Amino acid sequence: MIEWSLSQTYHSPEGRIRWERFGEGHPVILLHGTPNWSVIWRNIAPRLAERWSVYAFDWPGFGTSDRYPGQNVSWDEQPRRLVELVAHWGHERPAIVAFDFAPIFALRAQLLEGLELGPLVLADAAVIPPFVTDFSRQARENIGTFRQLPTHIAEGMVRAHIERTTRHPMPPEVIDAYMWPWSGQEGVAAYWRAVECYDEHLARPLVPRLAALSQPVMVLWGEHDEWLPPSMGEALTEAIPGARLRHVPDAGHFAQEDNPAGFAEAIAEFLEEVGYR
């Protein structure tokens, strides 16, 4: 049984957002991606909280936050939730650790919505298209057909998709934790709503603007990421002036599962090096 809970609530225009704070110090905000939720930070937040004030939350439509039909979880709407949360917490230029598709949200928040952010860690980041996996692309292009699949068939497909995120097999209870939000009829429906929003066109405006980033940036990548190959991390690093690239050894796309200590250590060393204390 995986123990993870978020005790705080922010009431957003797209429903309740569950969040939690760990530790004291300068703020570090952790942004999960897909098809995961904040549980992916359960082995990272405590390590970083030894030196910083760490915030974790579930995006609307994910995890323990509200998920409902008609909810706007599009990639141009979610960044506005980050703007709201940073204001709600009362922080200026917080450090951001954004994983998977969340770098799109962080970068849109800064480059298009005017949010001022501090040091950025872009981890196994879907930023430069194309990056949507074959499974998700097929599902999005045929969303009507996928929505008609029996619940148990859809659950099996999602589970198999999640199982391919790590270099080493995840224990059943960990996979169960990732599957929890996507299980049952309502969970499967929430999953397809999320997939329907995988719109790479909303990432394209960011690419020419990457050169405008002026804060310290680290691109962090699982050494054996098969979802988003390390070459994508190299391309992203080259597109951002002064960005540094670091690989998490012995890790796949969910490096937080394969090598949580290495993942957290890389972030901590980066923040220390740039004087974020």
pTM score, whole prediction = 0.97
Cis peptide bond upstream of 94, omega within 30: no
Nearest to 126 by CA among 270, 276, 30, 253: 253
Q: What integer pLDDT is reported at residue 1 of this predicted model? A: 73
Beta bridge partners of 123: 99, 220
Q: pLDDT (tens digit, 0 to 9) for every residue of the chain, 277 residues total? A: 798 999 999 999 999 999 999 999 999 999 999 999 999 999 999 999 999 999 999 999 999 999 999 999 999 999 999 999 999 999 999 999 999 999 999 999 999 999 999 999 999 999 999 998 899 999 999 999 999 999 999 999 999 999 999 999 999 999 999 999 999 999 999 999 999 999 999 999 999 999 999 999 999 999 999 999 999 999 999 999 999 999 999 999 999 999 999 999 999 999 999 999 8
What are the sequence ranges of the domains in the chain?
Answer: 8-131+202-273
Query: 70-105: per-residue pLDDT in tens?
Result: 999 999 999 999 999 999 999 999 999 999 999 999
Question: What is the per-residue pLDDT for 240?
Answer: 98
| 40 touches 61 (CB < 8 A) | no
Q: Rounded to 5 degrees, what are φ and ψ at 71?
A: -70, 140
User: What value does the mean pLDDT of the chain take?
Assistant: 97
Contact between residue 145 and residue 121 where contact means Cβ atoms under 8 Å apart: no
Q: Which residue has the tokens 């090598």?
A: 259
Cα separation of 221 and 122, whole Å?
8
In sequence order, what DSSP letters do the residues of 59-117 get, joined into one string?
-TTSTTS---TT----TTTHHHHHHHHHHHHT-SS-EEEEETTHHHHHHHHHHTT----
Structural contact between residues 162 and 35, judged by C-beta atoms closer than 8 angstroms: yes
The answer to whether the beta carbons of residues 219 and 247 sit under 8 Å apart is no
Q: Which residues of 66-77 are buried (b: 16+ CB within 10 A; e: fewer)?
A: bbeeebebbbbb
Kindly indicate whether the domain formed by 8-131+202-273 is annotated with CATH number 3.40.50.1820: yes
Residue 53 has a pLDDT of 99
Can you say whether the dihedral through the CA atoms of 2, 221, 130, 165 is positive or negative?
negative
The string of pLDDT tens digits covering residues 141-182 is 999 999 999 999 999 999 999 999 999 999 999 999 999 999
